[in-house]
Amino acid sequence: MGKSISDWDMIADKDKIIVGLSGGKDSQTLLQVLFSLQKRAPVKFDIIPVHVDPGFKDSFVNELEDYVGKNFYPLRVEITDFGVRAHSKENRENPCFLCARLRRNRLFEIAKELGCKKIALGHNKDDIIETLFINMFYAGKIGTMKPRQSFFNGNLDIIRPLAYVEKKDIVAFAKKIGLPGFINNCPSANRTKRGEIRQMLENLYKQNNHIKGNIFRAMGNVASDYLLEIQND
């Protein structure tokens, strides 16, 4: 994580950083390691954990709020109906896409309210690779999530400090230090397009252990002269 922060110049002195905390192992690991880094980093920065609850029944929000408050900092909780709306009949889009977009927009609003110019999200190396294929298969474009991405003319950055970290290492880390498990109560949790892409890639990785690294490096080694150009009809 330190290498990704350094490579992409993610954290500067006096930064106020919102950490988007979903309750999953990725965002919990992000908060845990940033909290540890904060104590020994050469620069001073503030951490503000935020959870945007999608509004499903049997939410784990109270347990998450207690855990974060006791071990890190007070958790700001935003109760919304984003997940419910995304799964309603009025939504014609992919429910995961709409819910994620609404939650991200709410984080943008909170960042502006609190004067934060950085939002840290728990996306990892596998997420970045999977997003590349999701965009190609379902959006007809080549693109993915960058470790650091600017919005609003550079006034706000999304940073992804776990961009170089593989999911399997996060799982091992979470198990080793005993991170709590919260049940994802989203009705689409186990039947997403991302899950299908993940399974396809896992099958490829089993055949050749260089494939994952090659895909990740390829995203920064684009031979643009050998891509198709848009042709006018």
The mean predicted confidence, pLDDT, of the chain is 94
pLDDT tens-digit series, residues 120-134? 999 999 999 999 999
Pick the CATH number of 2-222 from 3.40.630.30, 3.40.50.300, 3.40.50.620, 3.40.50.10860: 3.40.50.620
Digit-coded pLDDT (tens) for 14-23:
999 999 999 9
> Is pLDDT above 70 for 79?
yes
pLDDT at 232 over 90: no
40-72 residue pLDDT tens: 999 999 999 999 999 998 899 999 999 999 999
What pTM did the predictor assign? 0.93
Residues 147-164 have a mean pLDDT of 97
Domain residues of the chain, as ranges? 2-222
Strand partners, 160: none
Question: Is the Cβ–Cβ distance between 162 and 170 less than 8 Å?
Answer: yes
The encoded tokens of residue 42 equal: 């050469």
- Asked if the model's pLDDT at residue 233 lies above 60, the reply is no
| Model confidence at 89: pLDDT above 90 | no
